[in-house]
Amino acid sequence: MEGELKEVKILRVLRKPQGRGFMVTIPKEIAQTLGLKGGEKVKVSLDQRGRIIYQILPT
C-alpha cells in the first residue's frame, strides 16, 4: 500500500464545538480534485503506522 499513498497537504485537526469530537477541514482545491460536493460518506481507516486513510464511498 505504501506505493499508493500520495502526500497532498498537511491538515489541521480541530475540536468540534462542545468537545463532542474532531473534524478535519479539506482545502477547496483538494475537494475539487476529489469531486466532493458535500454529504458524501467516507470510510476512515488507521494503518499500523498510525496513518489515517479516508476512502470516499460510492453513493
Residue 46 lies in a domain: yes
Host domain of residue 47: 8-56
pLDDT of the residue at 27: 87
List the CATH number of the domain containing 26: 2.10.260
- Is pLDDT of 1 > 60? no
pLDDT of the residue at 45: 93
- Is pLDDT of 2 > 70? no
Give per-residue pLDDT as tens, 12-59: 899 999 888 999 888 898 889 888 999 999 999 999 998 888 899 987
Residue 31 lies in a domain: yes
pLDDT of the residue at 9: 83
Residue 45 lies in a domain: yes
pLDDT of the residue at 3: 63
Output the CA–CA distances (angstroms, integers) from residue 17 to 13, 28, 40, 44, in the order listed. 13, 22, 21, 21
Q: How many domains does the chain have?
A: 1
